[in-house]
Amino acid sequence: MASRRRVLPRFVVLLAVLAALAAAACRPDGSGGRASAKPLRIAVIPIGTTHEFWKSVHAGALTAAKELGVEIIWKGPLKEDDRNEQIQIVETLAGAGVDALVLSPLDDRALIRPVAEARREGIPTIIFNSALQGDGYAAFIATDNFLGGTLAAKEIGRRTGGRGRLIMVRLMAGVEGTTKREEGFLATLRSEFPGIEVVSENQYAGPSTETAYQTMENLLARFGPVDAVFTPNESTTFGCLRALQDHGLAGRTVLVGFDSSEKLIEALAKGDLAGLVLQDPVAMGYRSVKTAVAVVRGEPYAKREATAVVLAVRDNMNEPSIARLLRPDLSILANSR
């Protein structure tokens, strides 16, 4: 029975990927509805698919695909902490003969082997959002995550006057992007605001809003009200915000988080959130697919690209450059169904 249980998830992943490949093969290439003889097929594999961040990446990837006349196969793990499923997706899509992989690795070590195997089969990989160790990939496109953490620390330092007690909630071990944000935050806080006491910096929230909420509940029970909180992604920000709201601390505790969603925008406008560090996931998806196509076609491309990172606060959230990142245009997702 144990052997059967191990085989079943791989079989389910294979069926899902084959269905995605079949759907991709039936779509037009964007040239007036005429199917290309053999359009390039680019597999885009995020860490997850449910959070608004990943929907924005998807929108950018589809925009690039439409411009270039290529097919996108969008497939990510059901849970953002399922390393084995992401590995299986990479292996299955590479085995199905896609032309390139565009991958946001859930673990900066665990995905080294499948990426190297794809490379040996002549399938290049573009890494985006979160880095992969080694040199088995063709290009890396991401936010300057260390800088993002620095921006958050400076805002908390400004709002607290450089004093008080703080909790930093981590996301998950092995996710290079959020780890860099956490490192940038702590380094800046300690060098520029030594009067702020970090009472907790080693608790991981896990992949969902619910697990982040429970983590914050446990921390508040242990340490009581604190002056500030930093969270490194969308799910940790919303989960911790909900916990602060339930304790009557939202707006009193300075919370600076990462990424955007409609509920986080509402909280920012209300003052329950002090700030949101924003990336440009649409540009990340767009540039990653364009780079993948350039690699396959033997065209020039940049091996490293950094996308935008800015801080949104209530005073600047309606400025066009900030509003565009808070509410990216996702209409292409509805049009692609």
If asked whether residues 123 and 59 sit together in one domain, one would say: yes
**Better-scored residue on pLDDT, 254 or 28:** 254
The predicted pLDDT at position 211 comes to: 97
Q: Which two tokens stand for residue 144?
A: 């300057």
Which residues, 6+ apart, have CB-to-CB distance to 6 below 8 Å? none
The predicted pLDDT at position 335 comes to: 78
Q: Determine how β-strand 228-230 pairs with β-strand 100-103.
A: unpaired
96: in domain: yes
CATH number at residue 10: 3.40.50.2300
Q: Which amino acid is at 192?
A: E
- C-alpha 287: how far from chain center: 15
In the chain, alpha helices (H) = 2-26, 52-68, 83-95, 112-120, 145-160, 176-192, 209-223, 234-246, 262-270, 281-297, 320-326, 331-335
If asked whether residues 11 and 134 sit together in one domain, one would say: yes
Question: Which residues on adjacent β-strands are paired with residue 234?
Answer: none
Segment 254-305, tens digit of pLDDT: 999 999 999 999 999 999 999 999 999 999 999 999 999 999 999 999 999 9
The last residue of one of the domains, among 258, 278, 298, is 278
Q: Which two tokens stand for residue 51?
A: 């959070």
Angle between helices 234-246 and 262-270 (to 10 degrees): 50
Three-point CA angle 107, 327, 251, nearest 5°: 85
If asked whether residues 41 and 166 sit together in one domain, one would say: no
Q: What's the average model confidence in pLDDT over 218-245?
A: 98
Q: Determine how β-strand 275-278 pairs with β-strand 310-312.
A: antiparallel
Distance (Å, rounded) from C-alpha 96 to C-alpha 273? 45
Give the C-alpha distances (Å, rounded to integers) separating 263 from 107, 171, 239, 315, 327.
28, 19, 11, 18, 11
pLDDT > 70? residue 239: yes
Distance (Å, rounded) from C-alpha 31 to C-alpha 278? 34
The pLDDT confidence band at residue 26, using thresholds 50, 70 and 90, is very low
If asked whether residues 125 and 159 sit together in one domain, one would say: no
Boundaries of domain holding 30: 2-143+281-306
201's enclosing H/E stretch is strand 196-204
Give the C-alpha distances (Å, rounded to integers) separating 166 from 98, 213, 275.
47, 17, 15
In the three-class reduction of DSSP (H, G, I as helix; E, B as strand; rest coil), residue 335 is classed as: helix
Asked whether the whole model's pTM tops 0.75, one would answer: yes
317: in domain: no
270: in domain: yes
Residue length of the chain: 337
**Better-scored residue on pLDDT, 24 or 130:** 130
Domain count, the chain: 2
To the nearest whole number, what is the mean pLDDT of the chain?
91
If asked whether residues 293 and 274 sit together in one domain, one would say: no
Q: Which amino acid is at 47?
A: I
In the three-class reduction of DSSP (H, G, I as helix; E, B as strand; rest coil), residue 272 is classed as: coil
pLDDT > 50? residue 25: no
